[in-house]
C-alpha cells in the first residue's frame, strides 16, 4: 500500500485537509490516515470541528505522500514547531510532499521551498516570499516532487491531479465523477484577480487581523 | 445566533458535510455545530475519518438550519432510522432544511420531499424518485424552504448560496474569496452528462456494488 499521511495540528482549516482526503481515500492501493504530534482529537481554527489523528509524528518514520493543510497557526513559527520538524523528518522519505493553503508556510520553514515556485492562500503570498519561495498565483504547482495548492478549496483540485499522476487520468476521472465534482460557484469571486482591489483589501484585512 | 446543525451518522461522507461547514462556520451570526444520535466520534464511510458530534439529537429540539450529508448508510432505511426520525422532528422548526448528496434520501424517507423537485448523488436518482421526489440534474435545488444539493462536493456551492440567501451576495463573495473557491478541476468529468455512457455505467456499478 502507498501510505498517505494527512497532517493535523491545532487551528488547521478543515476543508484544506478533507478536500484531498475525499479524493484519495477511496482510491484502491492508498492507505490514507491522519497524523499529528499526538494521537487523538485535533481542533480546527474555528473551534467547531474536531478530527481524530490515528498516528503520531513520532511513530511515523516514512510516508509515500504527505499533505500539510493550512490554518491559523502559521504566524511566528520557528524551528521548534512540531509540524515544521515533522516536514523536515518526513520529506526525505516521500515520493510527493504536498500542501494546501498556508500549509506551504510549514514547508518553507522546513527549508524545502527555497527558490522554488510555489503557492499558498492568496493573502499569504508575501509571507511565502519572505521565506524564500517564489509565489505564483496558480491553483496547483508542481515543483519537482513538491506540490503546493492555493487556498482552502484548492485541495480538491490538487488531490485529483495527484490521483492522475499516481494512477492515470481514468482513475482521477472516476473519483471526480464519484464525488460529482462539477463545481458551479454562485459567484465568480474565488480568486483575488477576479474581485475589485477594494474588495480584495477588505478580505485581506480579515486575514491580517491579529485577533484571529 | 442562528443555529446550524450539521448532522453526522455512521458511514457519512466527510466532504458532504465539511463543504457546507467551511462556507458557514466563519460567518458572523451563525452558531455551527455537529449533531448526531449520540455525542462523540462518528466514523465516515471509509472508516478513516472520525469527526466529533458535540450535541445529540435528543438535546436538539429546534434548529434554524439543518444540513444532512450523504454517505453509505442510506439503503434499506425505515422509519426507525435515527436520522429519519430527527429530520421529522426538526424540520417543522427550521428556516432551511438542507441536504447534500444522498442526504436527500433521509429527507425523502421523512416524507418532506413528496412531489418536490430535488436532487441527490447522480447514481441515486432512481432511489430518490421511488421515494416520491422528482429528481433533477441540477447542482443546487431550492424548493420552498428545502434545499437539496447534488453529490459530495456540491455542498460547497450550496453553502455559498445559503450564505447569500441569509446575509446577501457580498457576504457570500467574502467567504468564497476567503476559501479561494475558484475551482479548476483537472478534467471535465464531474457530472454524468459529461462522460460517456460506458464510463457512467462503470462508476454507477461501483456505487451499486453491495459490498460497499
ipTM above 0.85?
yes
Q: Is the pLDDT of residue B208 over 90?
A: no
Residue B209 confidence (pLDDT): 76
Size of chain A in residues: 212
Supply the CATH number for residue A27's domain. 3.40.50.880
To 5 degrees, how large is the angle CA A208–CA A71–CA B31?
85
CB atoms near residue A28 (< 10 Å)? 7
Residue A78 confidence (pLDDT): 85
**Contact of A108 with A81, CB cutoff 8 Å:** no
Residue B43 confidence (pLDDT): 98
> What's the rounded Cα separation, in Å, for the pair A153 and A157?
8
On average, the pLDDT of chain A sits at 96
Kindly state whether residue B16 falls inside one of the protein's structural domains: yes
Output the pTM of the full model. 0.97
What 3-state DSSP class applies to A40? strand
Catalytic residue ranges of B: 101
Residues of B in contact with A206 (CB under 8 A): 174, 178
Residues of A in contact with B48 (CB under 8 A): 21, 25, 32-34, 54
Kindly state whether residue A90 falls inside one of the protein's structural domains: yes
CB atoms near residue A197 (< 10 Å)? 8
Instruction: Find which of A186, A197, A205 to mutate to test the B interface (most B CBs within 10 Å of its CB).
Output: A186
What's the start-to-end Cα distance of chain B, in Å? 39
Q: Is A49 an active-site residue?
A: no
Kindly state whether residue A172 falls inside one of the protein's structural domains: yes
Range of weakest confidence among A76-85, A97-106, B57-66: A76-85
pLDDT per position as a tens digit, A159-184: 999 999 999 999 999 999 999 999 99
pLDDT per position as a tens digit, A31-75: 999 999 999 999 999 999 999 999 999 999 999 999 999 999 999
Provide mean pLDDT across the span B23-38: 97
Residue B206: HSE in the Cβ half-sphere, 13 Å Cα cutoff: 15
Kindly state whether residue B193 falls inside one of the protein's structural domains: no
Provide mean pLDDT across the span A111-117: 98
Kindly state whether residue B196 falls inside one of the protein's structural domains: no
Provide mean pLDDT across the span A142-150: 98
Query: Which is more confident, A21 or B207?
Result: A21
Residue of A nearest to B48 (CA): A33
Task: Please name every residue paired with B30 in a beta bridge, in sequence order, or none if there are none.
Answer: B2
C-alpha cell at B17: 458535510
- Over pLDDT 70: what percentage of chain A? 99
What 3-state DSSP class applies to A68? strand
> What's the rounded Cα separation, in Å, for the pair A132 and A115?
6
Confidence of residue B178 (pLDDT cuts 50, 70, 90): very high
DSSP state of A129: H
Per-residue HEC secondary structure of chain B comes to CEEEEEECCCCECHHHHHHHHHHHCCCCCEEEEEEECCCEEEEECCCCCEEEECEECCCCCCCCEEEECCECCCCCCCCCCHHHHHHHHHHHHCCEEEEECCHHHHHHHCCCCCCCEECCCHHHHHHHHHCCCEECCCCEEEECCEEEECCCCHHHHHHHHHHHHHHCHHHHHHHHHHCCCCCCCCCCCCCHHHCCHHHHHHHHHHHHCCCC
Residue B134 confidence (pLDDT): 98
- Contact between A34 and B19 using a beta-carbon 8 Å cutoff: no
**Contact of B9 with B57, CB cutoff 8 Å:** no
Q: Is the pLDDT of residue B76 over 90?
A: no
C-alpha cell at A142: 508542481
- Contact between A157 and B183 using a beta-carbon 8 Å cutoff: yes
Kindly state whether residue B201 falls inside one of the protein's structural domains: no
CB atoms near residue B169 (< 10 Å)? 15
Residues of A in contact with B178 (CB under 8 A): 151-152, 203, 206-207
For residue A110, the enclosing domain spans 2-181
Q: Is the pLDDT of residue A212 over 70?
A: no
Q: Is the pLDDT of residue B210 over 60?
A: no
Q: How far is CA A132 from CA A43, A65, A112, in A?
A: 30, 23, 9
Residue A211 confidence (pLDDT): 53
Confidence of residue A209 (pLDDT cuts 50, 70, 90): confident
Kindly state whether residue B198 falls inside one of the protein's structural domains: no
- Look at chain B and report how many structural domains it folds into: 1
C-alpha cell at B144: 420552498
Closest to B155 (Cα-Cα) out of A138, A154, A179: A179
Query: Which is more confident, B77 or A149?
Result: A149
Output Rg (C-alpha) for chain B, integer angstroms.
16
**Contact of A110 with A77, CB cutoff 8 Å:** no
- Contact between A176 and B190 using a beta-carbon 8 Å cutoff: yes
Strand ranges of the sheet holding B2-7, from the earlier edge strand across to the other edge: B55-56, B30-36, B2-7, B65-68, B96-100, B146-149, B140-143
Residue A76 confidence (pLDDT): 87
Residue A116: HSE in the Cβ half-sphere, 13 Å Cα cutoff: 19
Q: How far is CA A126 from CA A76, A140, B104, in A?
A: 14, 18, 43
Confidence of residue B207 (pLDDT cuts 50, 70, 90): confident
Provide mean pLDDT across the span B113-126: 97
- Over pLDDT 90: what percentage of chain B? 93
Provide mean pLDDT across the span A188-202: 94
Kindly state whether residue B136 falls inside one of the protein's structural domains: yes
Residue B211 confidence (pLDDT): 53
> What's the rounded Cα separation, in Å, for the pair B77 and B67?
18
Provide mean pLDDT across the span A89-112: 98
Select the residue of B32, B152, B184 nearest A157 (Cβ to Cβ). Answer: B184
Q: How far is CA A33 from CA A21, A42, B103, in A?
A: 9, 14, 25
Amino acid at each position: 500500500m502507498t501510505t498517505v499521511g494527512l497532517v493535523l495540528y491545532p487551528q488547521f482549516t478543515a476543508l484544506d485537509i478533507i478536500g484531498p482526503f475525499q479524493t484519495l481515500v477511496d482510491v484502491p492501493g492508498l492507505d490514507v490516515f491522519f497524523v499529528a504530534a499526538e494521537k487523538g482529537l485535533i481542533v480546527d481554527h474555528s473551534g467547531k470541528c474536531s478530527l481524530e489523528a490515528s498516528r503520531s509524528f513520532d511513530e511515523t518514520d516514512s510516508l509515500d505522500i504527505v499533505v500539510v493543510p493550512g490554518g491559523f497557526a502559521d504566524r511566528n513559527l520557528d524551528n521548534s514547531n512540531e509540524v515544521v520538524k515533522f516536514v523536515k523528518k518526513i520529506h526525505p522519505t516521500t515520493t510527493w510532499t504536498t500542501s494546501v493553503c498556508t500549509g506551504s508556510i510549514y514547508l518553507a520553514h522546513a527549508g524545502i521551498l527555497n527558490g522554488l515556485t510555489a503557492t499558498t492562500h492568496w493573502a499569504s503570498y508575501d509571507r511565502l516570499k519572505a521565506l524564500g519561495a517564489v509565489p505564483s498565483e496558480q491553483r496547483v504547482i508542481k515543483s519537482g516532487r513538491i506540490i503546493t495548492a492555493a487556498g482552502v478549496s484548492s485541495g480538491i483540485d490538487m488531490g485529483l491531479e495527484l490521483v492522475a499522476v499516481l494512477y492515470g487520468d481514468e482513475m482521477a476521472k472516476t473519483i471526480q465523477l464519484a464525488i460529482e465534482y462539477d463545481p458551479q460557484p454562485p459567484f465568480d469571486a474565488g480568486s483575488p484577480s477576479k474581485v475589485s482591489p477594494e474588495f480584495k483589501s477588505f478580505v485581506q484585512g480579515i486575514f491580517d487581523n491579529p485577533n484571529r
